[in-house]
Amino acid sequence: MMKKFEEGDFYWSPEGYRVFTAQYLKRRGYCCKSGCKHCPYGYDKNTHQVIKPMPLKTDKI
- Render pLDDT for 6-59 as a digit per residue (tens, 0 to 9): 999 999 999 999 999 999 999 998 999 999 999 999 998 889 888 876 555 555
Total structural domains within the chain: 1
Inside any domain, residue 51: yes
Inside any domain, residue 39: yes
**Residue 4: its pLDDT value, please?**
86
**Residue 45: its pLDDT value, please?**
86
H-assigned helices in the chain? 22-28
Angle at 26 between CA 61 and CA 10, to 5 degrees: 120
**Residue 39: its pLDDT value, please?**
92
**Residue 44: its pLDDT value, please?**
87
Inside any domain, residue 61: no
Full domain range(s) for residue 37? 31-56
Inside any domain, residue 4: no
- Provide the whole-model pTM: 0.71
- Kindly report the length of the chain: 61
